[in-house]
Each structure stands twice: as C-alpha cells, then as structure tokens.
C-alpha cells in the first residue's frame, strides 16, 4: 500500500511539473509574440549631417581616448552642434513666441503615439517639377480612401522618397499650408514629420507651415529616415503604426536631434 502511495505521489509531481513547463513555454511564446519590431527612422549624426542654414554643424572632440595614468582604458568625447540638424524635432517655440519649448511638449504627444504614413513617392516621381512638390489636401484624402481615416492625436509622416538624396543640402520638398491646416483642424494631429530637411518648401522665405503648426502647439520632425522600410514592413499587416519620438530633453530649447522609432501595435 505504501509503495502505491509513493508511486501516486511521484506521478502527481511529474504531471504538475509537466503542466508548469507547458505554462512557462506558452508564456515565453506569448512574450516573444508581443515584442514589437522597431523601425529606426533616424539618421546618425556625423560631419555629413544636414543642418538648417547658418546653424553650427556637427563636430566631435575626443577629450580623452586611451589608457590613463592608472593603466585604465578611458574614453570621453564632447560634441557641438546646432539644434536643427539631422533627424530632429522642431518645438513650437521655434516659430511661435508662446509655443512650447522642447521639454514642455507633453509626453503623450511623443510616446506610443499613433501614426499615419502618407506615401506620395510615386506622385513626386511622376511630377513635371518634382523638386517643387508640396503635399496638399488631395493627397491626404486619397490616403484615407486607401488606408482609412487618420486617427486624431496622431503624428503624420510624409514619404516623398526624397531621402534617397541624403545628405543633399539643396533639394527638398515640403507641405502645402492647406494640408497643414486640414490636418490640424480636421484630424487634430499632434505632430508632422517629413523625409526632407523642412516641412516648408525649400525656397520658402516666410515659413508658413512652420508658423501655422507652431501656433497650434504641433511639433515637426524633419529629416525622417527609412520610411520606405517602414512602408514595406507594414504593407501586409493589419496592425496600427505607433511612434516613439525621443528628442534630447533640453530646457528652453527650440529643437533637438531625436531618435524616432516606429512599430506595429
């Protein structure tokens, strides 16, 4: 009888252990499936980086680089650059005195934000004057017919295909003021990004889109990278695109370089 009880106890231990292993395996599988794949939409910073005309360009100084007096390897560098270079965020204060400075932009406008990618690369390529292209309302309406309505509180990213010229400092496209107004009034966006150095046309001297968006506390992301990769990776997916927009948090700044990561949710 004692042997039978021992056998039953051992059998219960084996069954419970197997069930626990299965549970752990299933949890591991679920955790793996939940882990998002990120697309980095940021350029690296270097001496090739594009900056706003007149801004201080990127430089890196090797302050310490080698073995110190104690025989320990030690390296520490300093860098210097203007705010508006490479992949960067324009805070509303950049073009509006009462606008948010960089650190005042709410985290809810930067972290896990829904996004829509407006792909006009083929429209730009077929245009008679592609270097004069400006995104307008008709492109936004066409996007919504194909992809659905742009969600409120989102960041809209514009893919012109012009990033293939990076780091060309001359040629870049922009957004028409009527498109900026439509996005702000009709879709209540919190930010807009583009794969060129400016949300305004390159020949603009009055910066109407910068001013209009800034007056509504809407930030810009300029020189967005790898939008073609994001479009391809999400082409056959029904997921919702979201962004992490991570500028350096500088008090009182008008802008700063940013790491921008997109993922499917």
Pair 115, 13 in one domain: no
CATH of the domain at 170: 3.50.30.50
pLDDT score of 2: 47
pLDDT score of 18: 56
* Residue 43: inside a domain: no
For the chain, the straight-line distance linking the first and the last C-alpha, in angstroms and rounded, comes to 58
* Residue 67: inside a domain: no
- The Cα 213–Cα 209 span in angstroms is 6
Asked if the model's pLDDT at residue 5 lies above 70, the reply is no
- The Cα 72–Cα 75 span in angstroms is 10
Distance, C-alpha 242 to centroid of its chain: 9
* Residue 222: inside a domain: yes
Pair 92, 168 in one domain: yes
Nearest to 124 by CA among 41, 222, 229, 201: 201
Pair 9, 132 in one domain: no
- The Cα 179–Cα 118 span in angstroms is 12
- The Cα 225–Cα 162 span in angstroms is 10
pLDDT score of 180: 98
Angle at 37 between CA 35 and CA 40, to 5 degrees: 140
Query: Which letter does DSSP use for residue 99 in this model?
Result: S
Nearest to 231 by CA among 140, 117, 142: 117
- Spell out the residues 6+ positions from residue 181 whose beta carbon is closer than 8 angstroms to its own: 212
Backbone angles phi and psi of 72, in degrees to 5:
-105, 135
Pair 10, 93 in one domain: no
* Residue 253: inside a domain: yes
* Number of independent structural domains in the chain: 2
Pair 23, 100 in one domain: no
At 182-203, the pLDDT tens digits run: 999 999 999 999 999 999 988 7
Give mean pLDDT, residues 211-232: 96
- The Cα 163–Cα 158 span in angstroms is 11
- Spell out the residues 6+ positions from residue 32 whose beta carbon is closer than 8 angstroms to its own: none
Residue 197 near residue 87 (C-beta atoms within 8 A): no
Residue numbers of the domain that contains 97: 82-264
Pair 13, 124 in one domain: no
Pair 132, 235 in one domain: yes
Percent of the chain predicted with pLDDT > 90: 71
Q: pTM of the entire structure?
A: 0.85
Pair 218, 95 in one domain: yes
Which residue blocks in 88-153 are alpha helix, DSSP H?
121-125, 137-147
- The Cα 29–Cα 7 span in angstroms is 33
Does an H or E element contain 219, and which?
strand 219-222
* Residue 41: inside a domain: no
Pair 23, 148 in one domain: no
Pair 86, 31 in one domain: no
Asked if the model's pLDDT at residue 216 lies above 80, the reply is yes
At 26-76, the pLDDT tens digits run: 555 555 556 778 999 999 999 999 998 889 999 999 999 999 999 999 999
Structure token pair of residue 79: 């860098």
Pair 92, 30 in one domain: no
Does an H or E element contain 20, and which?
helix 2-34
Nearest to 204 by CA among 134, 155, 101: 134
| CA distances from residue 38 to 69, 99, 191, 229, 265 in whole angstroms, order as listed | 42, 31, 19, 11, 11
Pair 20, 143 in one domain: no
């Amino acid at each position: 009888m004692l042997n039978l009880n021992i056998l039953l106890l051992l059998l219960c231990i084996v069954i419970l252990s197997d069930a626990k292993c299965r549970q752990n395996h299933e949890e591991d599988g679920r955790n793996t499936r939940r882990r998002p794949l990120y697309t980095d939409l940021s350029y690296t910073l270097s001496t090739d980086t594009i900056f706003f005309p007149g801004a201080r360009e990127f430089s890196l100084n090797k302050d310490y680089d080698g073995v110190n007096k104690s025989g320990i390897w030690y390296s520490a560098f300093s860098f210097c650059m203007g705010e508006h270079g490479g992949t960067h965020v324009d805070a509303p204060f950049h073009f509006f005195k009462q606008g948010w400075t960089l650190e005042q932009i709410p985290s809810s406008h930067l972290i896990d934000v829904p996004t829509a990618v407006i792909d006009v690369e083929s429209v730009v390529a077929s245009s008679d004057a592609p270097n004069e292209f400006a995104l307008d309302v008709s492109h936004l309406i066409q996007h919504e017919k194909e992809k659905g309505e742009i969600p409120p509180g989102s960041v809209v990213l514009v893919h012109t295909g012009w990033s293939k010229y990076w780091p060309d400092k001359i040629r870049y496209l922009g957004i028409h003021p009527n498109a900026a107004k439509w996005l702000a009034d009709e879709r209540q966006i919190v930010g807009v990004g583009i794969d060129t150095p400016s949300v305004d046309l390159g020949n603009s001297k009055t910066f109407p889109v910068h001013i209009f968006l800034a007056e509504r506390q809407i930030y810009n992301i300029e020189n967005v990278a790898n939008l073609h990769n994001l479009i391809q990776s999400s082409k056959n997916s029904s997921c919702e695109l979201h962004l992490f927009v991570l500028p350096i948090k500088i008090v009182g700044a008008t802008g700063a370089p940013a790491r921008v990561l997109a993922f499917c949710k």
